[in-house]
Every structure is written in structure tokens, then in C-alpha cells.
Amino acid sequence: METIVQQLLNGLTVGGIYALIALGYTMVYGIIKLINFAHGDIFMVGAFVGLLAVNLIADSFIVAVLAAVVFCGFLGIFVEKVAYRPLRENSPKVVITSALGLMLIILLAVFARGDVAGIVSSGTFWIGAVLILAVMFWLIRGRVSGRNKNGNSRINALISAIGMSIVISNMVMLLNGPQREVYPRLLPDYSFSAGPFHISALQLFIIAVSFVLMYLLYYIVHKTKTGLAMRAVSHNLNAARLMGINPDRIISFTFLIGSCLAAVAGVLVGTYYNIADPNVGMMYGLKAFVAAVLGGIGSIPGAVVGGIVLGVAEVMGVAFISPSFRDAIAFGILIFILIVKPTGLFGTKMKEKV
Amino acid sequence: MLKLDSVCTRYGNIYALKGVSIHVNEGEIVTIIGANGAGKSTTLNTISGIVRSVSGSVFFNGADITSMPTEKIVESGLIQVPEGREIFPLLTVYENLILGAYLRKDKAAVAKDVEYVTGLFPRLSERFKQLGGTLSGGEQQMLAIARALMSKPKLLLMDEPSLGLSPIYVQNIFSVIKEINKEGTAVLLVEQNANMALSVASRGYVMETGKIIMEDKASNLLDNESVRAAYLGI
């Protein structure tokens, strides 16, 4: 019994973090029906930017979070502009903008490292860049030949997302090196006992921060005009435009919010585990994706519940079955939910218009 | 105030509009009647910028809006009530109305206009907190019109407001259209219910396979033999 309660607390901590990341997936999906696979990498970048800020400025949690939120906010908007908007607009002008954007990333990397050979030798980095460019070129070719006007744009965007994910994670590896970095304890961690339980202040703090941010998101989506516009765009894009809403601006805003939440999660994870790892983005991203699907992708309360259920399930599995089952549990849940209830806990059936 | 100059629009290789030229003057109700597939809705969607013309131009109050983004066109006071209502089914009636006023900053005046439009459609005020999707077809049409009015339109484009409605609702909607017009809003009305449309309009266009084939005063069209035979079922 004591173990169960103890593990429940651990599960809530991990689950809160999954939920924060899952919210970004679910919001973006709700609005443009895209699984933004670069989202997990934005989370990882958040951890590293926080670390950088701590090293450069001050050893403070607030500094780390602020730096991560600001940087990732811009990064999220940038990713949307470079990798997804061109596919939506399907016009040569934006495709060129996007290609230039990617060149800029590569050039930045060259300058930052001062080492051209290192960039060229990074194979995966190029795979990512080439993936995105290939989609763009395919699109232009399709335009020129009159085929592929809008068809497959969701698959295109998905491939572009995977490319973006590879580019970002390799970017961090180029700048930082592929090794893990030690993350400073930014928050005082002491634990106290309540009866038989050991409660860690850090865990309580992480859970509290997660819930405050989720409430903030709820407030934005349900109580502000921009939130109303977000919901309108996600239900019916054309009707939203007839209201005078600029969908591009709302989509950018959605990426901004999602990326900021992921950035906070990045710093929290770094502080909690004392480690920043450039390879971790993909795995956390996938787990959060599972959480979003479990809750019903596109549903905000679903992402919260999905994240917490997944976190608790994982921790319980580690405690009572075996630590090596950790990832298997998450993806087992994914398979199970896709078979039993593909719409997830809170998802509604999509009505396809005929 | 609105002028279309030989506008052509196509879907793929099929031309839906083959050089449409129409105009709407300040304070008028103008109707476009025609059969299914004549290009009436395409005309409205081209004006709103939801579909793009391949040639020709659209002017609104002297400004060329041919290639303006939809949201900018809306900002200039040209508002469409789309075919099939297109209300937001998962938002409440009140939220739908507030979205109509999305571009307005004057909160107090918006609140006043909520009262004004619910005065036009008392049914809506009883259903403020209800989700849009739970309304009946007629109520949804009322909501769509009320939502459009919330933006203080200068010209209202209405696409088949009588579609699928019971005769009582049709009467109700058309009397509101007249009322709106009296308050100074010009209306461009696309209808299959030609009889009803011509009885409220001052001028009318008859459209057939992407072309305007006739233009006249509404009363003359109502008396015209071929119009009566083809569209009025008399």
C-alpha cells in the first residue's frame, strides 16, 4: 500500500510533464490536423537553452525557464513558418522562403562551430534537411505538372515534421556535442515525511507548476477572444476566415503556446533528473504523443488525463513489473487504445464531410 | 458599391464563372437567381475571396479586392452568410455571435449589438448557452445571419438563406432581410426560391451555367414570361 501511494506521487510528477508536452501535440493537431513530430525536440531544446542561460547568466530556475520559454516560443513559430506553412499555402514564393530558412539554420551551425567538416560529416543532419527539401521540390513539381494540388498535403506535412525533428536534434548535437550534460539542481530539494511517506518538495513543485500551466491554458482557450478564435479555426477554417480571423496568425499562436509549455517541461525534466540529453527529444515526444492519443487527440482535457494516466502506468509498471518494461508499457498502451478505442478517452468521432 | 467586372473562376479545368459582371448599389437588395450549379455560390465565394478568380476584377467601395485575403475583405465590411449556415456547432450561440464581432474593439457597442440582433431573432436569446449544433435548421440560419450582423456589415452576401427551412422560417428570415436593408445595409441575395427573392429585391440577375443571361428590375423579372416558366414554376 505504501509503495502504491509513493509510486502514485512519482507517477503524477512524470505524468504532469508528459501532459505539458502532450498539450502541444493535441493543440496543433486540433487546429491543423498535423502531428508535429518536432515538438519533442523543442522540449529538448528547452532543457538546453535553460542550461545555457544558467551557465551564462545566473543559477536560477526563473532565469532558465524564462530563457527556454522565449527561445522555444520563437523556435515553434519558426518551425511552423519554415516546415508547415509552405505546404499549406502551396505557393512557390513561400517554398523559397522555407528553403532559405533552412539554409540559415545550416549557416548558423557552421558559424557557431567554426567547423565546416563537422557539419558535413553529420549524416543525420543532412537527412533531415534533404527530407524537407525533397517534400518541397515534390510539391513544386506537382504544381508545375498540375497534379497534386492539395492531395496528400497531410502526409507531406508529416514527413516535413519528421525532417524538422531530425534537423533540430542534430542541431543541438552539433552545437553541444552528442554527450549528456549535467543539469544543475535549480530548486532546493528536500523531502519530508508524512507518516510512512517520503514526499519530495521538488515533485510537489513540478506537479503544481504543471497544473497551474494547464489552468492557464484552459483560461486562454476558453476565456479569451484569441482562444475563441483558436476553437473556431479548429472547427471550421473557412467559416473562421469569414469572421475576419487570420488563420495563419492563430496557427502561429498555437505553436507559440505549445512550444512554451514544452520549454517549461524541458527545464523541469532537466532539474528533476539532473541531466540534459540531446537524444531524449524523440522519446519524450513519442511518449507525450501516446498520452495525447490516449486522451483523444485534439482534446485538451484528454491530453492532461492521458499524460497523467500514462505517467502513473509507467511508474507502476517500473515498480511492480520491471524497470526494463518502462517504454513497452507506454507503447503497449498506444497499441491497446488504438485497437479498443481509437478516438481515445475524450475524443469524439470525426465527422467527415461528404 | 460592389462591382464585378467580367470575373472568371474555375475549379480544375471547369469554368464555373464565365465572365460575370454585376454590381450592387448603396442601400439596394439585389438578387441572383438561377438553377443548381449555375454558379451563384461561386460568385459569392469569389467576392469573399474563398475561391480565386482567374481573370476579371472585383471592386468594393472603389478598392480592388480581387486578390485580397478573405479576412481583409471581411474587415472592409463585406460579410458573407455562407450556404449551409456554417455556424460553429461546438461553440455556444453567444460565442458564435461574439465571433461575428471578432474584428471589433468597441466592447460596449458589441454588447449593444448582441441585444439588437437578438431583438431581430428572439429565439436566439432563449438559447444563448446552448451549443450551435443543437439548434434546429431555422434557428441555425437565424444565428448565421445574426452572427454576420454582429460585424456591422456594409454589404451582406447571403447564400440560400431559405435552404431547407419551413415556410414560416422563410417568411421570418425574409422579413428580417428587409428590416436589415431598411437600416442601411445593402444585400446581395443568392436564392433558388426565386419568387421570394424577387419579391424583396429591387433588382435581379438571372444566372445560367456561369453566365448572367438577364438583368432587370425585380418586378419586371417577376412578370417576365421565360423567368416565370423556368424559375417560378408558373
Contacts of B69 in chain A (CB under 8 A): 241, 246
CB contact under 8 A, B50 and A236: no
A11-24, pLDDT tens digit by residue?
Answer: 999 999 999 999 99
CB proximity B79 to A under 8 Å: yes
Contact between A307 and A19 (Cβ < 8 Å): yes
Q: Is the pLDDT of residue A349 over 70?
A: no
Residue in chain A nearest B94 by alpha carbon: A228
CB proximity B140 to A under 8 Å: no
Q: Compute the average pLDDT of residues B219-231.
A: 87
Contacts of B74 in chain A (CB under 8 A): 241-244
Q: What burial class does residue A38 get, using C-beta atoms within 10 Å of its C-beta: 0-12 exposed, 13-18 middle, 19+ buried?
A: buried
Residue in chain A nearest B79 by alpha carbon: A242
Domain boundaries, given as residue ranges, for chain A: 2-178+194-340
Which of the residue ranges A48-62, A340-354, B120-134, B193-207 would you say has the lowest mean pLDDT? A340-354
CB proximity B88 to A under 8 Å: yes
Name which of B44, B47, B70 to mutate to probe chain A: the one with the most chain A Cβ atoms within 10 A of its Cβ: B70
Q: Is the pLDDT of residue A76 over 90?
A: yes
Contacts of A245 in chain B (CB under 8 A): 71, 99, 102
- Give the best-scoring range by mean pLDDT among A127-136, A344-353, B37-46: B37-46
B 101-130: CB under 8 A from A: 102-103
CB proximity B51 to A under 8 Å: no
Q: How many CA atoms lie within 13 A of B51 on its CB side?
A: 20
The pLDDT confidence band at residue A112, using thresholds 50, 70 and 90, is low
Contacts of A242 in chain B (CB under 8 A): 48, 50, 70, 74, 79-80, 82, 86
Contacts of B91 in chain A (CB under 8 A): 228, 231-232, 235
Domains of chain B listed by start with CATH number: 2-232 (3.40.50.300)
Residue in chain B nearest A238 by alpha carbon: B50
A125-152, pLDDT tens digit by residue?
Answer: 676 677 667 766 666 665 555 444 555 5
- Please provide the average confidence, as pLDDT, over all residues in chain A: 85
Rounded Cα gap, residues A50 and A72, in angstroms: 10
pLDDT at position A147, please?
A: 47
Tell me the residues of A at the B interface, defined by beta carbons under 8 Å apart: 225, 228-229, 231-232, 235-236, 238-246
A282-335, pLDDT tens digit by residue?
Answer: 889 999 999 999 999 888 899 999 999 999 999 999 988 888 888 899 999 999
ipTM of this complex prediction, to 2 decimal places: 0.90
Name which of B88, B152, B158 to mutate to probe chain A: the one with the most chain A Cβ atoms within 10 A of its Cβ: B88
CB contact under 8 A, A241 and B50: yes
Comparing CB atoms, the residue among B80, B89, B95 nearest residue A242 is B80
A157-209, pLDDT tens digit by residue?
Answer: 887 888 888 888 888 887 888 889 999 988 887 888 877 777 788 889 999 99
Comparing CB atoms, the residue among A225, A236, A246 nearest residue B71 is A246
